[in-house]
Structure 1
Amino acid sequence: MTVIVIRHATPSSVPPSLPAHLGNHPVVCKDCSGVEEIRQCLCQIDAQPRDWVVLELGAVDEQQWCEQAAALGHALDQLPAQYIEVQATCELDLQSRLRLQHAPAAVVVDHRNAQGGYPLSLGIIRHRLAMEA
């Protein structure tokens, strides 16, 4: 089982403070430059049903939504792993925008910024893993 963090990051973005492992499970972070790259990453990560994905889209302009929404929605609906969406308060959640069939296990909103949502997201995953054990 792996925790895969996929985030929209600019060259000046500060990487999130993530542990290398959550319990015995590796935590891997993938930075993407936009919605298309996030979609590609979702399709290429070879996630397994036991894996968890933490997804932060960040600020996405309306043009990217218009061009990439359907493809992103399809990639999320095909994702075999459970996922948690991390966002800042100013963003619409993916379910509202994309009408997903495979909705997130949780949407974590941090009023300061999306970075603050990572500890809670990992805490949710840790709790869910403990329930499965």
Structure 2
Amino acid sequence: MRSKVLICDDEKDILQVVKIVLEKEGYEVATESAVINAVELVEKHRPDLILMDIWIPEIGGSKAVKQLKSNPETAKVPVLLFSANNKIENIAEDSGADGYICKPFDVQDLVNGIAKAGVKV
């Protein structure tokens, strides 16, 4: 069974490009362009890893990560924040994210970041 990655980003181009890249790598991919309740999204998609944009509409990536990490049902799902924000490292640490990927990123950085989080195809 392939590992599933949930990508949460409001930029449709990013969703499309990252989805294509990860599917080529062998991952199953789901996408969302807004997050109201991160726990419900995990229940809906059952991802092995989440790529979460910091600026995701409705609640924002940092708050979404805190929601996930405070719930025993979703706390163990790895979440990588990704953004062009120059404070991404601090935001990831403060929110409890499992790591981060800086935008813009190259394909290898993306694939390596997911593998580093312990999620294999």
2:54–2:81 contact (8 Å) kept in structure 1: no
2: CA distance, partners of 1:39 / 1:26: 21
Q: Which runs of 5+ in 2 are unaligned?
A: none
Determine which of 114, 117, 121 is the counterpart of 1:125. Answer: 114
SS at match of 2:40: helix
Residue 89 in structure 1 maps to residue 85 in structure 2: yes
The structural deviation recorded for 1:57 is 2.0
CA distance in 2, matches of 1:118, 1:89: 19
Q: How many residues align?
A: 108
Relative distance call for 1:73 and 1:90 in structure 2 (3 A) is same
**By how many angstroms is 1:72 displaced?**
4.7
Equivalent position to 2:22, from 19, 23, 42: 19
Indicate the residue corresponding to 2:46 in structure 1. 46
- The question of 1:28 aligning with 2:24 is answered no
Give unmatched runs, 5+ long, in structure 1: none
Looking at structure 1, the residues matched to 7 and 93 of structure 2 have their Cα atoms a distance apart, in angstroms, of 17
SS at match of 2:76: coil
Does structure 2 conserve the Cα–Cα contact (< 8 Å) formed by 1:5 and 1:55? yes
User: Counting strand residues as a fraction of each chain, which structure ranks higher?
Assistant: 1
TM-score, length basis structure 1: 0.55
Distance in 2 separating the partners of 1:55 and 1:129? 12
Q: CA RMSD in A?
A: 3.5
Matched, 1:80 2:80: no
Output the TM-score relative to the length of structure 2: 0.59
Q: Distance in 2 between matches of 1:59 and 1:76?
A: 18
1:121–1:84: structure 2 CA closer, same or farther, 3 Å change rule? Answer: farther
